[in-house]
Structure formats: structure tokens, C-alpha cells
A and B are shown apart, each in its own frame.
Chain A
Amino acid sequence: MNILVCISRVPDTATKVVIGSDGNSIDSQGVKFIVNPYDELAIEEGLRLREKNGGVVTAVTIGTDKSTDVLRTALAMGVDKVILVKGEENPDSFYVAENLAAVAKDENPDLILLGRQSVDFDSLQIPSALGEILGMPSISVVSKLTIEDGKVTAERDIEGGCEIVEASLPCIISAQKGLNEPRYPKLPDIMKSRSKPIDQRDAAAAASRTSIIGMEIPLKQRAGKILTDSDDDINELVRMLHEDAKVI
């Protein structure tokens, strides 16, 4: 089975994000970047499918020269080869999907795996956009995956339960928590990843359809206030809801 895993490079979830001086990008100075956590699930699922069925797992990211670190992580986890598509610094989802589709056309995968979303910009568009561009079925937010004789059975988390969906290969799957537990790269594999090649390509001619015009850090939440069930406090509660919060 030929598996393509699409990964993105995102700020570490523990990083304190600061907006750059241009007002519409993140200041990357001192920010630690990691493989998008949902994409780690996609890598792990690709590796498990290869271990079961044989085949090749290729990881691809749309990024810049800095993005080699996340590909190195994918190599250390065990993917066979990696592709870096060098493109715009701050692309939108459509641009990324167009470029992933271009790679998919070259690589001709049976299965494309992605995380359900990137935890930086949270657009959740790429798995669906990619399905549309490639004319492939795309199943989102999958927490259990079975592939037998070219038939894909996926369980999706939906509000209050789960939905079971079937499709045939080739197919696109976006990974949800619970799909698997990503492995730790082993130390010898980390050291060996150093000498493996990174296939670098230029981005296909595609243009972002949206642009970011501003970013804001959420205001700090105000401290909560605890009231009792005394008559005074109930009157105060009504006053606060009416005058301060303006919800009644």
C-alpha cells in the first residue's frame, strides 16, 4: 500500500504566542515548533498499516527551509521518505491543499492520511479540499480505521456517539484522537534520520484565496465571582447579569 501522510509544523502547544510587529503573523522568535499533534496520529496510522500490509509511507509538508525538523521527526518515527514543498511563508488552506494535491498526483497514493486539523490556525478545510481537488472520498475526524481488500471502514466521532462510514481506496482520512497512540521515535532511529535525504520541491503555481489582515491575543479572562444563596446575593446576581454581562 502506498501511503501519503501530510504533516504541518505548528508552534508547540505550550508556547506563549506573540503577534509579530506586522500585526498579522506570529512572531516566530523563540517559538518552538513541533509536528502538529493530530498529524502524529496520521503518521502512526500510516506506519501501522505498512507494518500490517507492507508498502511505503511518504510524509510531505508544505513549508519553508525551516520545515525540515518536522520531516526529520517523521523519518525518526519510521516513514520511508519525506518531501518538502517550499512555498509561501504564510499560506492559506486552499494553497496548501492545491500543493498537497500536486504531490499526490505525482506519488499516486492508495491512501492519504492527515490530522483532523492543524492546531495553529484550525481551519479544518484541507482534508475536504484535497478530496474535492483529487476527486477522492474524504472521511474526516476518524477515530478507528479498518482497511480490507480495498474497502475502508472508518468510525467517526459525532455529537453524542459515533458514525460508521465506508468508502473504497483511494481515499483520504483525517485522524482524530483515539485512532492510535503515536510511538516515541527510538534513539538509533533519531540518529539515523540525520543522514536520510529530504526530497525538496518547489511549490506548484497556486495562490492563496484568503489573506490574514489582523490577529489579536484573547483578553485575559476576568476572575470569577462567587455568590451565595442569600437574598442580597441573588439581587446582586440579577443586577450583574443585567448590567455587567447584559444577558438579561
Chain B
Amino acid sequence: MNDAQWLLPVGIEEALPEQAQRLEQLRRALLDLYASWGYELVVTPFIDYLDSLLTGTGHDLDLQTFKLTDQLSGRLLGIRADMTPQVARMDAHQLKRNAPTRLCYLGTVLHTRSDGFAGTRSPMQIGAELFGHAGAESDVEILRLLLLTLAAAGIESPYLDLGHVGIYRALAQQAKLTRAQEMTLFDVLQRKAAAELTALILDEWQLTSPIADMLLGLIELNGDDALERAELLFAPAQDAVQVALDNLRQVANQLHAWLPQVPVHFDLAELRGYTYKTGVVFAAFVPGWGLEIARGGRYDDIGKVFGHARPAVGFSSDLKGLMALANQPPPPPRTGILAPWRPDAALQIVIDQLRAAGQRVIHWLPGQVNEVAALGCHQQLIYRNGAWQLAELTCDQALHFFIE
């Protein structure tokens, strides 16, 4: 038999019992946390019509989505690569509430290619979205939930980075850049390639002051004092830039009021999800991990295409990624009680009582090989003095009771 056939595809993982147990514990803790904040769990389809999956996200997800043909309708289907648009569609198309709606979700998504990093093509996406409120308060609520999510995974002091896509969008508009130019410049900004930026703006496009200075300065606007420097730099900018800066400042100040111990940092040139985000964007980093561990932002326009324009803000992370970085103590050794297999009413009552009390009770099956360690039990039930009683278990004793 060729062992290579049991290998998993690149970037696809399985979780063995111990790992699966830790994933499940974290999953429960997080969903309980979100429920306690009023976030309702939703389940989105794993597979969906492609045009619906790609709606509203600026086709960022197109290359990332696995596709296949529906034999029933002949239409193209996609396997979800991101649950956020599906959740937004639920809010706008199905729920149609006017009050703020809080939804959370968890599920495996598939990517055709890994992010070029961390390898996985099947992250377990977990996230929360708040629809129907446009103020800084909802941004702050989502940010607090993001930090609590990391804390629940044992990540205590992440680095929180805030930005705002409205600043670059308004500057690009003021500079009268074409769509292609806007995206070229965007790519240069994402790489912080300062020399290329200068060559592009001054030499190739021959932009002039003040807009050239503002675009050139944008790349430097990161670090703790970025907002103060931005105020000076963007004084000649159109109102939309000031509005975006004010919004960002409000979010930072309110977050500081709630969580004074959490340092907030800024990077105004960091524009992840630029094509469909509309406001504040944020990401959390941990030391020694090259990319962000959780990210999110505001995307107010997405509901429009689903028939109900609603402001929206949310975040998401990868449950498996969180697990890998979590500072969780190793799980305690398994405990359990070994019980013989026998049609004995008295024994069955004892077993039911133990299980109801939260104990793990495992039947010793007739003819079973004697590998007690694999069952992870520390006690056994034996019949002594006319009653079923608990006794400490060693390999020898198990054998004894088996023979008995």
C-alpha cells in the first residue's frame, strides 16, 4: 500500500482528539462570550452561488474561491472563502431589521491559495459583525470584542493597529487619480516602498504640491504620534480627509476610555480590504508572527447590493491560528472510569449517576485488547461487598477485573 495516498492536500489540516478538544473549548468560550454581548450565532452555507459569494467585496475573493459547476442549475458554485459577505447578506436580505443587529459566526472557509504565509488553506473563521449603527461607538464595541477574543485565547498583550481607508480614498480623489493609478499607488503604499512612491508621484505622474506632499507623507504616518502628524500634513486636504481623521480620533479616544491599559497605534497607509472597506480598519499583531492574527473594519456599503443598505462593522480571526499562538496551559491528563459490559440494572444506575455528575465512563468491551492507557481512565467500577464501587485503576487491576 502506498502511504502517500493518505497525505492531506496542501494547506488542509485535521485535528486529533487533544487538539480538537482544545479547539472546541475555545470555540465554546468565544461563542458564549459573544452571546453574552448579544451577538446571535448564524450558520452560513458552505457552498453558494459564486456571483452571490463575490457580491460587494470588490471581487477581492474571486481568486481565493474554489469553484465548481452545479449539476442542477448549471450555474457556478463557490465554496465560501470568507463568511463576512454571507452574514451581511443575511442581515440585509433576510433579517431586514431596523434596530442594530449583532451576529457572530464560526466555520471552516477554504482558500485556493494560502496567504503565502502560515500555510493553511482551511482556516476556521470566527468573527462578529454589528449592523445598523454608523457611529464610533459600534467600532469601539467590535474592537473591545476583538481584544476579549484574543484574551480568551490567552493572548494578553496584542499590538493593536488602527487606520482609516477614507483618508487615502479622499486623497486619491483629490489627486484625480484614475482607478488603475489608485490601485498602483495602493500596492506601493502596502509595501511601504518609499522610493517607488516618490518616483511614481513626482516623476511619472508629475503631481504637484500640496496633493503630492500629502500622498508622499501618508507612507510615513505610522507609529504612536501618527494622528498629530496627520493633522499638520493634511491641513490642505479636502473635508473628507478631516472627517475621516476625526472619526479615527473618536474611536481611539473612546477605546482608551474603556481600556486605558491597551496601547493603540496607528498606520494610516495600511489599507487591508481597501476595495470594500469604508471607514476605520484595524488589525492585531503578536510578537514573532509576521502577519496580523485578527483584523476587521467598517464596510458600510455592502448591504446595498443585497437590498438594504446598512452601516456595518466587524472583525474576524482564525480559530486554529489563535490556538497556535495561545498561551494556554496544556490540558490536564484525561480522567475516566472503566466499567465492565454487563446487563446489570444496578451497574447501569451507578453508571448513569456518574455520567450525570459529569464523569467520563467507558465500557470495557468483551474481547477487547488490554490497552488501558489508550482509554485514559484512572478509576474502575468493581463489584465489592454487594455493591458497585469505585477503585483506583492500574493496568494489572483492569486485567484482573476483566478476568473476573
Is B one of A's binding partners? Answer: no
Interface residues of B (CB under 8 A from A): none
Chain A residues in the interface with B (C-beta under 8 A):
none
